Structure formats: C-alpha cells, structure tokens
Amino acid sequence: MRYKDAGVDFNAALQVKSKIRKLARQTFNSRVLREVGAFGGFYALNGLPRDAVLVASVDGVGTKLKIAFEMNRHASVGEDLVNHCINDIAVHGASPLFFLDYLATGRLRPAVAEEVVSGIARACRANGCALIGGETAEMPGFYPENEYDLAGCIVGWVRRSKIVDGSRIRPGDLILGLPSEGLHTNGYSLARKVLLERARMKLGQRISELGRTLGEELLAPHRCYGPVLRPLLDKGYVKGLVHITGGGITDNTPRILPAGCQAEISLGTWPVLPVFDLIAELGKVPQDEMLRTFNMGLGMLVVISKQHKARVTAVLAKRREKFWLVGRMIRGKPGVRYVKGPSVKDTHSCA
C-alpha cells in the first residue's frame, strides 16, 4: 500500500503548497526573511522601537464554516479569520506584523485550499500583515467529507507606553459602538439551529427583511476595525476597546473593566441588524441570551473620556464611520448593566 491508499495525497499537497507560496509572497515585506515552506517562518524585528511589546492571538472561524461548505464559497472565511485576529490585538493598541494559518481537512482539495488561502492573503495585504507560514494537514477519517477546519495565529506590536488594557477607565467615561456587518464569526451554532433547522429556511432563499439571500447574510464578512481605530489610538483618545465576539456585549465587556467600574449599556441606542431580530423571533430567544451570544449590530465598543468626545467624533466623521453613543461607565462591580435608552433616531450618530 501507499499513503495515497490511506487517503493522503502527496501530489495534491505539493500542488497546494506551490500555490500558497505564491499567495503568501504577495504579502511579504522587507522584514520577511524566508519563503513559505521552511519548518518555521522568519520575521525580523528591525525598525521597531526599543520599548516595542509583541502581542499575539490565536482564533478560528467556528461553525460559520458550515455555511461556507454548503455554499461552496471559501475565500470569505479566510478573510474572516485574519480580520478577527487583527481586531483581537487592535483592542490592545497593537498593529499586525505577521500571520500563520492552519488548515486541516479529511481530503485535501487543492482548489478549495487555494480559495481559503487567497482570502487570508487578501486580508493580510489589506492590513500590512505578512503571511509567513502555516500548516495544511490532510487527515482522512477525522473530518467529514468535503469539510475542513481553519485557525490562525497573529503577532503584532505596540509600544509599552501605548498599551490599551482598560486600566485607565473611570466612572463617567463614554462608550461608543461601531457597527458590525452581520454575525461576524460568532453565534452560528444557534443561528443555524434556529434558521436552518427549526425554521427550515434555505441558504439560497431571498429574505425580504435582510434584502439578500440568507446565505449571503450568514457569510457577511467579519469586519476589520484596525484602520478605523488606528488614528484614535495614535492620538491617545482610547481608554478601552471591546471586540464583541462569542459572549456578546455581556461577557466581553467585563474583560477590560478595572475594579469599581461597571458598563451601563443603553438598549435602543443603536440599530439592531434585522438578522438578529429574525433569529430572536423565529427561535423565541430571550433578550439576555441574544445579548450574550451575538454582537447585535455592534462589533466594537470604544471607551473614551467625555473631554475627548468632540475630537473622537471629528476623527470618525472624517472617515465616514458610523457610530453611536451606547453607554457610559458607572461605579459598581465590573460587569454590564442594561438600561432602556432613547430610540436610535434620537441618539448621536455620524455617517
């Protein structure tokens, strides 16, 4: 017998690696010292300040991949992966340096692998991040037919004096919300259960409330907030940032709160995306469950002092970035307190 008889195709792997090498090379800069294909990726830190601190994060795309499998569209989940990881280090003030990916499947399909990595490379190029290596694993019998798993590791940097960790947050600070573009990469197990299993909706079905097909809605990209946040971070306006991922506003916000500070979030002060209303209605999902499962239309929370509100507004307006004043910091045990706020039409926003 040969390895191919057991389900592992060396020739397919070599074909994929050749294409990945070309895609990765498009993301390289002068700090990348070796081609993809060595046992490790090489990245020089020359040019960084002496007080530079490396910030790293690892994440995956989750069961959003199930939607990609059914629709046979794979580039967008590659972009999702990179954008999610960039957001996770951006909340600490860090800029991305390099990225590594992990793609594992039961049977390696070169065209699918190339499509996934093309999305990864595209997102890396857009954010000045070098794709310096990774792993493509073929494991027959481990994954269902025509499925794969996808994960990635990002490393970025920030000056020690510029680290954002929430320690400067104080009662009276304001909380701004930046819009998401859909579910991003969280809550898909519940969304699939409600929409596809219980309501028996089809991915190709056009949904009037969404203005597009269900599949297009569920594959909407995980937005990258790095470019929007960078000018605010550079000017020192940001006291804390919350990337709204699994756990929603409820469980992610306490991760940055210092002792004696509680986040008061005013419900109704931002437009909840129609897809979340649809899930809540069809699944009879309680509001508290929605708030700790989905981003509900806010992908990033930005904590600033009152004195910087006008300046932050001006920066966001210049970038034509929508935002809403969704809450404030109050005295209390670290956590989230929800209150009923004014309707969204009465809140400050900027297009």
Domains 7-162 and 174-346 share a fold: no
- Count of C-beta atoms within a 10 Å radius of residue 287: 11
Residue 177's alpha-carbon distances to 52, 180, 273, in angstroms, are 29, 9, 14
Q: Domain 174-346 belongs to what topology?
A: Phosphoribosyl-aminoimidazole Synthetase; Chain A, domain 2 (3.90.650)
Res 351: pLDDT? 41
Q: Indicate yes or no: pTM above 0.85.
A: yes
Residue 218's alpha-carbon distances to 8, 77, 103, 190, 196, in angstroms, are 32, 11, 21, 12, 11
Which residues have C-beta within 8 Å of that of residue 253, sequence separation ≥ 6? 242, 263, 265, 301, 335, 336
Res 182: pLDDT? 97
- Boundaries of every domain in the chain: 7-162, 174-346
Residue carrying the six token digits 């020192």: 236
Res 265: pLDDT? 98
Averaged pLDDT, groups of 10, the chain, 351 residues long: 73 85 95 92 95 98 97 97 98 98 94 96 98 94 94 98 97 98 97 97 96 97 97 97 97 97 98 98 98 98 98 96 98 97 62 41
Res 342: pLDDT? 82
Res 345: pLDDT? 60
Q: Are strands 130-138 and 240-243 parallel, antiparallel or unpaired?
A: unpaired
Res 5: pLDDT? 67
Q: Which two tokens stand for residue 27?
A: 């993301």
**Range 7-162 has CATH code 3.30.1330.10:** yes
Res 73: pLDDT? 96
Res 1: pLDDT? 74
- Count of C-beta atoms within a 10 Å radius of residue 47: 8
